[in-house]
């Protein structure tokens, strides 16, 4: 007869979200439950384990104790294994059946997810891909809290984190876009100095905004950010309407925009290094066979896109 375990997977999940967010209030908002439910779950977990997991600082949030830090790593592995067991029970029982939670940077999603779903359905029909689309910092938080198995993202905000391991699968050089009728639209390439005096339509996402502003600032001029939007396609549509130029990394297959106008993509001659497209995961969490299979599919998709481009 097996002995019972005092704590639950729900308690571990609430603990991980609280550890990542740094407060019970933030964790309750992220989990969409009452703060009292998070606090009670963590209190009961501490009682069952007979260990203090957090130092609670009034008005300054939560800090993990050494025991809490150890549990954080162990809980990630346990929850990943629980998802694997659930998937095998719901599927055919094979290694390539069940859910895989994939995080994807918002602007990368249209370029990689359709091909990923198509390839996965063809080769591994038993795998169910669940996607979280977000910006870089949110993806890192989701990784740390164990809500996703890995992330597909740019190399933005990843440096200096010893818990994360990353692998570069593609490079995305920056390029400028201008309206179809722009005086430079017929050029094969440009330098940003030729556009720096014009209004900049900024893709206003965390880390991304700093990257694009730094590209223009490197020309020795202060970017004239006239318009901001968090939508990749809105940036293209605003440029097509003649409201300014922009700098992006991923290239759509068409020059047409949602607004009906047309943009022209111009490679940059400034010699700035391209952004790296990376697969990122928590180093201490062992990946399941189906997760590794999905990651391999993304490697192949990235290689095919690079060859086609």
d(CA 158, CA 269): 27
Q: Are 80 and 65 in contact (CB under 8 A)?
A: no
Name the pLDDT band for 220 (thresholds 50, 70, 90). Answer: confident
- pLDDT tens for 230-272 read 999 999 999 999 999 999 999 898 999 998 899 999 999 977 7
Strands 150-154 and 275-282: antiparallel
Instruction: Indicate the pLDDT class of residue 90, thresholds 50, 70 and 90.
Output: low
CA angle, residues 153, 156, 162, in degrees to nearest 5: 90
pLDDT band at 88 (very low <50, low <70, confident <90, very high): low
What domains are there in the chain, each with its CATH number?
A: 9-64 (1.10.10.10), 74-170+276-308 (3.40.190.10), 175-273 (3.40.190.10)
Give the contacts of 198 (CB within 8 A, at least 6 positions apart).
224, 244, 245
* DSSP state, residue 64: E
Rounded CA gap, 213 and 168, in Å?
23
| Residue carrying structure tokens 């001659």 | 269
* CA 77 and chain centroid, separation: 20
Supply the pLDDT for residue 1.
45
How confident is residue 58, by pLDDT bands cut at 50, 70 and 90? Answer: confident
- Note the Cα 21 to chain centre separation in Å: 17
56, β-bridge pairs: 62
β 127-134/98-105 pair status: parallel
Residue-averaged pLDDT of the chain: 88
Rounded to 5 degrees, what are φ and ψ at 251? -110, 120
- Closest C-alpha to 285, from 141, 103, 77: 77
Q: What is the mean pLDDT of residues 278-299?
A: 90
Q: Which long-range contacts (CB under 8 A, 24 or more apart) does 10-14 make?
A: 10/41, 11/41, 11/42, 11/44, 11/45, 11/48, 12/45, 12/75, 12/78, 12/79, 13/79, 13/146, 14/38, 14/41, 14/42, 14/45
């Amino acid at each position: 007869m097996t002995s019972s375990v005092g704590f639950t997977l729900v308690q571990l999940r609430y603990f991980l979200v609280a550890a990542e967010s740094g407060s019970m209030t933030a964790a309750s908002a992220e989990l969409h439950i009452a703060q009292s439910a998070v606090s009670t779950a963590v209190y009961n977990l501490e009682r069952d384990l007979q260990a203090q997991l957090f130092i609670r600082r009034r008005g300054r949030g939560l800090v993990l104790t050494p025991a809490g830090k150890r549990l954080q790593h162990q809980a990630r592995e346990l929850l990943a294994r629980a998802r694997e067991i659930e998937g095998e029970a719901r599927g055919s029982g094979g290694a390539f059946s069940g859910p895989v939670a994939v995080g994807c940077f918002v602007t990368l999603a249209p370029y990689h997810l359709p091909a990923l779903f198509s390839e996965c359905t063809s080769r591994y029909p038993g795998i169910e891909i669940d996607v979280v689309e977000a910006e870089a910092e949110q993806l890192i938080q989701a990784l740390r809290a164990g809500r996703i198995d890995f992330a597909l993202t740019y190399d933005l905000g990843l440096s200096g984190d010893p818990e994360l391991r990353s692998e570069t699968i593609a490079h995305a050089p920056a390029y400028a876009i201008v309206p179809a009728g722009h005086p430079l639209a017929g050029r094969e390439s440009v330098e940003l100095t030729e556009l720096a005096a014009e209004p900049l339509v900024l893709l206003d996402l965390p880390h991304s905004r700093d990257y694009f502003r730094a590209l223009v600032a490197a020309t020795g001029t202060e970017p004239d950010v006239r318009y901001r939007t968090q939508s990749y396609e809105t940036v293209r549509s605003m440029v097509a309407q003649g409201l300014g130029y922009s700098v992006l990394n991923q290239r759509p297959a068409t020059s047409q925009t949602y607004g009906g106008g047309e943009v022209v993509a111009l490679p940059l001659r400034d010699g700035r290094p391209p952004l790296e497209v990376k697969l990122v995961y928590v180093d201490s969490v062992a990946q399941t066979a189906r997760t590794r299979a999905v990651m391999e599919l993304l490697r192949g998709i990235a290689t095919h896109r690079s060859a086609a481009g």
